[in-house]
Structure formats: structure tokens, C-alpha cells
Amino acid sequence: MTNSEYDQALTFWIRKDQGEKKMDPAALYAWISAFLSSHRVLALATGANDYVRCTPLEYTWHEDALWIFTEGGLKFKGLRDNKNIAAAIFDVGTTFTGNLRSLQLEGTAEVVAPDSVEYSSAAAFRKIPLSAIKKLPEPLWLLKITPTEITCLNSDWR
């Protein structure tokens, strides 16, 4: 592929979006919030330098953030040096001829301190007793993902 072909490919949606009718921001946010609230699993991409990792994780959406309890893993190799993340959340079992609905999300990740009010609140939201967390042999880490950009795909909006 030439540089010109790469440029053509990477600007496809930017060019396609120009001149399109825009959705009311409040209605769009309501759809995004409902979509994120109705799903539970995302693919979280982290990376730094030449390292990239994509991990399926369970999340909750509240307080304008994605909250992920995780035992750890190689995703932290990227997060140690780079707090920027990407994530994808999508309906399963659909095809390009069906009703596609998905979100691509860019944002920042923060590891929430286990002794913080935020950690306790997220555990309560997930109905995870703090006493059970404290009994685990390894820490249960909490990632707070704050979106900076969300791209939506919804076939119904054609």
C-alpha cells in the first residue's frame, strides 16, 4: 500500500461524515448511555512502544465512565507507560446486512486506589462486598475509563 492509499483509507469515515446530518447531542448521548448500560463486555486495547494488548473484560457504565474490576494481567504492561486506551463494544451475532450497533471508544485509564471512596462506590454498584475482595490472595484492581471520544455505528440511522 502506498502512503497515498493509506491516507485514503484512514480518512474514509472523516470524508464520509462531512455534510451528513448530525444527531441532536442530547439524543446521541442518551443512545450511547443506554447502549453502554445494556452491554457488559468490551475489548480493551492498551499499549506502549511496540507492545499492544487487547483484552475482553466485563465492565459497568455509570457516572460517565466505564468501571472494570480486574485481577491484573498483561494489559497493565501497556497501562504502566500509557494511560490512553481504546475499546470496542458491540452487539454479537449481527452481520453487515443486519442491524449493526457498536461503539468505538477512546479514553484514558486510571487505576483507582483500593482504599478510596470511588473504589468502594464502584464495588457497591457491582454488588461486590468489600469483605470478599479483601479475602482474595491478590488485589482486585479497579480501572476507571474516562471516554474522550466515542464513535457510534447504528444501522438504524441510515
User: What integer pLDDT is reported at residue 95 of this predicted model?
Assistant: 63
43's enclosing H/E stretch is strand 41-48
User: What integer pLDDT is reported at residue 157 of this predicted model?
Assistant: 73
Residue labelled with grid coordinates 447502549: 35
Cut 0.85: pTM above it: yes
Mean residue pLDDT of the chain comes to 92
Domains defined along the chain, listed by start:
41-157 (2.30.110.10)
| Residue 20, pLDDT above cutoff 90 | no
Neighbours of 26 (CB within 10 A): 8
Answer whether 103's CB lies under 8 Å from 35's CB. Answer: yes
Q: From CA 115, how far away is CA 3, in angstroms rounded?
A: 49
User: What integer pLDDT is reported at residue 145 of this predicted model?
Assistant: 98
Q: From CA 147, how far away is CA 64, in angstroms rounded?
A: 8
Confidence of residue 19 (pLDDT cuts 50, 70, 90): confident
Confidence of residue 18 (pLDDT cuts 50, 70, 90): confident
What are the tens digits of pLDDT across the range 108-124?
A: 999 999 999 999 999 99
With a pLDDT cut of 70, the percent of the chain lying above it is 96
Higher pLDDT, 56 or 94: 56
| Residue 134, pLDDT above cutoff 70 | yes
